[in-house]
Amino acid sequence: MADFRDPAAHILSFAQTLKGGGVERALLRMADGWARAGRRVTLVIGEPGGALAHELPDGVAVHSLGNTAYRALFALPDIVRALRPDIVFCPGNHYTGAAWWLRRRLRGACPPIVGKVSNALVRPDLPRGAGVAYRAWLRMHPSFLDAVVAMTPAMAEEAARTMGLPPGRLAVIANPPALPIPNAVLPPIPEGRFILGVGRLAPQKRWERLIAAVPRLHDAEVKLVLLGEGEERAQLERLVERLGLSDRVSMPGHVPDPLPAIARADVVALTSEFEGVPGVVREALAAGTPVVATDSSVAIHELIDCASRGSVVPPGDRARLVGALNHWLMPGRQRPEPLVESGPEPIGAYLDLFDRLVAQRGR
């Protein structure tokens, strides 16, 4: 049970599914940490089954909506009225529409809402009209979010600029680091050299760029492994077949623990059009595995902050992507030193923020 002295004794958060995704995986790690710290934690999930279901922490209450559609999250106001949490945590950009609806329906009776920036807020990939609408939507966020958490200083600056948030409503808190999962089934990886991609098979990730780079590599024996699942699987499989790469590219799906594969890979690659703070990049740097990533977020250069850790290439520049991969695949190339992250402990930093907001609301 939560200590009665903790202002944010009951924390509620929400997500559509547990089918996979960095936002949901980070949420589960945070929920586990908050529960271990003695807080009551409730997760409202559209459907709690899926690839991440085994990571649901003990001691966390799960409220299933029985529907994975985004619109199901618009039941949040009734749930919050019934459960009366002290604070609501919105785990990423994708979910701020539900947070807006919650504030609109409950108004002054709504508990404080903290939102996390999980993806880039500057989106040059959007068509002009959609980009204008997106920027206007971001400027509305201060009207329904009491505080915004960015995972790096550069992302906090981007949030301040795009949302018009004052510094007092911004916090910089990293996601809790991923830890090895005991007794997890090891992902199927080649015996020889391989490039690794980890993430949803979704349009944002642009895995077709990485697949198309494989036949252009100097080493014709290097393989590519994509760990993840998503709606683009069939399309990517057709591309692999069309390029004659069935013996060099494998997509074994979601795996419970990608850390062993990350440590074993010759290179971890990320070819996204836009990102937030990619967990796989942090995990690769912590393991001493070089990274080749597209310049898909202001955080990328914060993570890959020197040439000895990896390479950053422009999105869509096929020649630069192939050149960077060939650089790190060169025989005898020295791997980076494992990176030890610094900064405040994430679980405690979140709880301090929650407690402060609830105490301010009480006053």
Contact 268, 289 (CB under 8 A): yes
Q: What integer pLDDT is reported at residue 2 of this predicted model?
A: 45
φ, ψ of residue 63 in degrees (nearest 5): -110, 110
Tell me what pLDDT residue 92 has.
96
Per residue in 255-267, pLDDT tens? 889 999 999 999 9
Contact 144, 111 (CB under 8 A): no
Give the CATH class of 10-176+344-362. Answer: alpha beta
| Gyration radius from the chain CA atoms | 21
Residue 277, CA distances (Å) to 112, 153, 293, 302, 351 in order: 25, 11, 12, 9, 21
The secondary structure of residue 356, as a DSSP letter, is H
Residue 40 CA to residue 3 CA, distance in Å, equals 10
CATH topology match: 10-176+344-362 vs 194-329: yes
Output 289 or 362, whichever has higher pLDDT: 289
First-to-last C-alpha distance (Å) of the chain: 24
Question: Would the pLDDT of 275 be above 50?
Answer: yes
CA–CA separation, 320 and 78 (whole Å): 51
Model confidence pLDDT, tens digit, residues 221-244: 999 999 999 999 999 999 999 999
What is the residue-averaged pLDDT of the chain?
94
CATH class for domain 194-329?
A: alpha beta
Provide the token pair at 130: 């959609």
Strands (E), the chain: 10-17, 40-47, 60-64, 87-90, 113-116, 147-150, 170-172, 194-198, 223-227, 249-253, 267-270, 291-294, 310-313
Read off the pLDDT of residues 316-351 as tens digits, 9 standing for 90 and up. 999 999 999 999 999 999 999 999 887 789 999 999
Q: Over the stretch 283-329, which tens digit does the pLDDT of each residue have?
A: 999 999 999 999 999 999 999 999 999 999 999 999 999 999 999 99
Predicted confidence (pLDDT) per residue in 184-213, tens digit: 888 888 999 999 999 999 999 999 999 999
pLDDT surpasses 70 at 14: yes
- The per-residue DSSP string of 212-264 comes to HHGGGSS-TT-EEEEE---TTHHHHHHHHHHTT-TTTEEEEE--S--HHHHHH
Task: For 50-80, write each residue's pLDDT tens digit.
Answer: 888 888 999 999 999 999 999 999 999 999 9
The answer on pLDDT for 138 being more than 50 is yes
Q: Where are the domains of the chain?
A: 10-176+344-362, 194-329
Q: Which of 147-151, 178-182, 235-239 has the lowest average pLDDT?
A: 178-182
Is a pLDDT exceeding 60 seen at residue 1?
A: no
**CA distance linking residue 117 with residue 87, whole number of Å:** 17
